[in-house]
Structure 1
Amino acid sequence: MSPDPDNPSEQQKREQILSKLPLVISSVSPQKKNPDRFSLYHEKTFLIGVSSQSMLDFQINKGIKLTRTLFMQIIDSEEYQSAKDRAYRLLSGRDHGAEELRRKLIKKGFSPESTRRVIDEFSDKNLLNEQTYAKKFAADKFQLRQWGPKKIEAALYNKGVPKNVIQDVIQNLKADIDQKDACLELALKRRKHFLREPDIYKRKQKIFRYLAGKGYSPDSIQRSLPKIIEQLNA
């Protein structure tokens, strides 16, 4: 599809401004809908919108010359600040691993460089900690949804958590929980469902498939089956 000359993209608008630079900023106006942002003009031509932080960082004011270099520095800074704001909002909703946060920022349209800077800064500030995130994720999934170690391990892997962190967290989880008791509790919650199957062999198969799907090891399921069958029939 060819570009629409009547509706240029943001990139096209930037290129149009770049082709005219350098230009002197003749006026600076606060934006009506966002008082923390300012619009820069050369005479009646809009140049760029910037945050108050960029105004301070680059000492922007009326009368300075907006060069191509300064323009691109402002663009990069604005994107970085926007990516950082987005990351804060995501983390305020729930914890994220570094890779999960990176994927979301990239998907939102932020550049790899801005995204990398945000991830690095947040990691340095300990706002992102893979070990803490993975440990909390594992505990929440086990306690709230009764996922077993295998399902938790697969989920952490899909979220991009480093392999060594996953191994450590899963090892500690296995040491802290009783998979046999967890299997029993899960199966008893579905008592009516399993008792609909009159054939005891097929009933055991259904229980096994269900618990395996929840992420429990074959050994844990096999060890829990006798007690499950006993209590289902009680």
Structure 2
Amino acid sequence: MKDEKIDRLKKLLPVKITGIAPQKKRKDRFSLFHNDTFLIGISGGTLLSQNIQKETVLTSQLLNQILDDEEYQSVKDACYRYLSRRDHAAMELRQKITQKGLRASVADLIIEEFEQKGLIDDYRFAKKFAADKMELKKWGPLKIKNALLRKGVKKSISEKVTQNIIENLEQDGICVDLLRKRKAHFLRETDPMKRRQKMYRYLAGKGFYNREINDAINRVKSEFDVK
């Protein structure tokens, strides 16, 4: 709601609500009137939570409660939209909310509500994120762990998920496949030592650990003519 509209409304208070009508374009929202004067538009949820009816007197206190409810519902709607597109970590979702200028305190309340309802679960998010990055982008555990930490996932969860990758995936086999897909690129380097260094840097950039990288390079050293 624009501040100037709210300021104009405040000058009318207290005022009796004499009419309540559903909005034409948004059936989930209602317009409040005093006689023929439009006062404010609110959601159906706010209408119920504040028990607003005809003859209700709109006071400064009630208006503030309405504005708080509307902001809360606005944040919830935004969260539902974000989550309908993909899973989010709690901190990642909170950052998106606050970047839109909404109050951090409201964001925290909604994040807590969504966590209690199971709509947000950082461990579930981390497992899916890791699986997607491994399958689609062939990221290694180190890159996945760092990405999860940047998204605000707790260190304990990030480490648990990446440890599962380390224990259940043949990382050096994945590294070998990655190297072979870029074989022509690496062979353009004529110096064998520099070629090995480029192969190493490529796999390190993918997020694999030193041991798996060296094991993979050693498995293909004859193919790539490196020592």
Cα distance between partner residues in 2 of 1:57 and 1:111 = 21
In the TM superposition, 1:206-221 aligns within 5 A as 206-221=198-213
List gaps (5 residues or longer) in structure 2.
none
Q: CA deviation at 1:231?
A: 3.5
1:129 corresponds, among 112, 121, 134, to 121
Q: Which letter maps to 1:160? A: G
Deviations along 1:186-231, whole A, 9 cap, x unmatched? 1111111111112211110110111111111122111211112234
Q: What pairs with 1:153-232 in structure 2 (closer than 5 Å)?
A: 153-232=145-224
TM superposition outliers: structure 1 runs of 4+ over 3 Å:
none
Structural RMSD (CA):
1.5
Counterpart CA distance in 1 for 2:24 and 2:176 is 61
Q: Please tell me whether residue 151 in structure 1 is matched to residue 151 in structure 2.
A: no
1:86-125 counterparts in 2 under 5 A? 86-125=78-117
Q: 1:34-77: CA deviations, max 9, x gaps?
A: 12211112234332111112222222122110111111111111
Matched, 1:141 2:122: no
Which residue matches 1:6?
none
What secondary structure does 1:180 align onto? helix
Q: How many residues in Structure 1 have an aligned counterpart in Structure 2?
A: 225
Measure, in 2, the Cα distance between the counterparts of 1:124 and 1:201: 55
Q: Can you list the C-alpha shifts for 1:167-186, whole angstroms capped at 9, x where unaligned?
A: 11111211111221111011
Once the two structures are superposed, what CA deviation does each residue of 1:6-43 show, in whole Å capped at 9, x if it has no partner?
A: xxx81232233224321111222221211221111223
TM-score of the pair, normalised by structure 2: 0.93
Query: Which residue pairs with 2:10 in the alignment?
Result: 18
1:50 corresponds to: 42
User: Which has the larger displacement, 155-164 or 105-114?
Assistant: 105-114
**1:103 partner SS:** helix
Distance of 2:220 and 2:65 partners within structure 1: 65
Q: Secondary structure at the match of 1:20?
A: coil
- State the secondary structure of the residue aligned to 1:38: strand
- For 1:206, give the aligned amino acid: K
